[in-house]
Amino acid sequence: MSAVPIASSTPADTLRALGAQLFVRGWLSANNVLFPDSGEQGAAVVDSGYVSHGAQTLALLEHALGERPLARILNTHLHSDHCGGNAALLRRWPRARLSVPLGYAPHVRPWNAQALGFHAMDQRYEPFEVHGFLAPGNTVRLGPHDWEIHATPGHDPDAVVLFEPVTRTLISGDALWEQRLAIIFPELVGESGFEEAQRALDLIERLAPRLVLPGHGEAFTDVAAALSASRRRLDAFMAAPDRHHQYATRALVTYHLMAQRALPREALQHWITQTPVLRRAPGEHASAEDVKRFAEETVQRLIADGVVVEEGGVVRMAG
Ligand SMILES: [Zn+2]
């Protein structure tokens, strides 16, 4: 156990006591938390980034590990920005064992991309072999500490967070960010997610973390502020689910455009009309014409707001 005086320690002190390194990644990739020394069980990484960033993820881990092999890969949930590097890491370290949250068990053995939602979001992915499961209520040894596995449905029905009770550190995945609220995906396909997300925030509040290592953005310590911002946003979405669908559409279209770098405007609009989670945005019973108009308006709004630029019929991210 660590002798670090926890109350006064900085995030860097806490990470040192945990034997952890946080790699804060840019767009498309989720952060990675690496435990280079994990005793007998070997080095472990939590989340593996986006598929097209596989080489970058590999370089980061190889640099930090030196001669040590990566022995374990864990995913907080199976979204393409959190598990996209799994296949590349397993190719590089074929003896590494991959664990995903238990809720995905029926969908990864045998592999079912439809049920995993990759098709619904039309996100790129590379299938990977799963060797074990993270069961809520159990613990997993990472570095010198045992981390508790907690279920946090909402953003994704099967997502988990990892909590280390000595330093009170939380690896939150997409269940809690410092500034924004992640999309509540089940709601986009007519399933329940808002209440689950509320309960996930309540759970995190009860765990009372001192330090959060989120799936996106820097580590943060003002957990109360992050919780209340998330709850305000969630309340607003629950009061006006259309706004949540608009927010999700914007985020997913932006994500797709970043992954593709540039696209003919027509092709981006067509993609919106063909992507299951977006097709429902203008309403469950919208006609093909409504969906087409919604796609055109979405792209028009992104251009008007300066998020996206168009040149000669081709759109790309601004800046
Ligand atoms: Zn996610």
Pair 226, 220: CB distance under 8 Å: yes
> Could you tell me the two tokens for 188?
């986009």
> Domain spans of the chain?
6-238, 259-317
Q: How far is the CA of 187 from the centre of ligand 1 (A)?
A: 14
d(C-alpha 213, C-alpha 218), whole Å = 7
DSSP string, 112-156: -HHHHTHHHHT---------EEE-TT-EEEETTEEEEEEE--SSS
Q: How far is the CA of 125 from the centre of ligand 1 (A)?
A: 14
Cis bond before residue 241 (omega within 30° of 0): no
**Residue-level pLDDT at 283:** 77
For residue 247, give every residue at least 6 positions away whose Cβ sits within 8 Å of its Cβ, in sequence order, or none. 183, 237
**Could you tell me whether strands 169-173 and 211-214 are parallel, antiparallel, or unpaired per DSSP bridges?**
parallel
Averaged pLDDT, groups of 10, the chain, 319 residues long: 59 96 92 90 96 92 96 96 95 97 93 77 82 98 96 97 98 96 92 97 98 97 98 97 91 89 94 85 83 93 94 93
Report the separation in Å between the CA atom of 8 and the middle of ligand 1, taken as the mean of its atom positions: 32
The neighbourhood of ligand 1, an ion, using CB within 5 A, equals 79, 174
Centre of ligand 1 from the C-alpha of residue 77, in Å? 7
What's the fold here for domain 6-238?
Metallo-beta-lactamase; Chain A (3.60.15)
User: How far apart are the CA of 60 and the centre of ligand 1, in A?
Assistant: 21
Distance 5 CA to ligand 1 centre (A): 33
Sign of CA dihedral 45, 51, 56, 59: positive
Helices (H) and strands (E) in the chain, counts: 14, 14
From the list 141, 229, 169, 143, the residue with the least C-alpha distance to 10 is 169
Locate all alpha helices (DSSP H) within 194-287, ordered by sequence: 194-207, 223-239, 241-260, 265-274, 276-279
pLDDT of residue 122: 66
Contact indicator for 265, 317 with CB cutoff of 8 Å: no
Interval between CA 154 and ligand 1 midpoint (Å): 10
**What pLDDT shows up at residue 113?**
81
Is residue 50 classed as helix, strand or coil in its secondary structure?
A: coil
Taking alpha carbons only, the member of 67, 124, 91 closest to residue 258 is 124
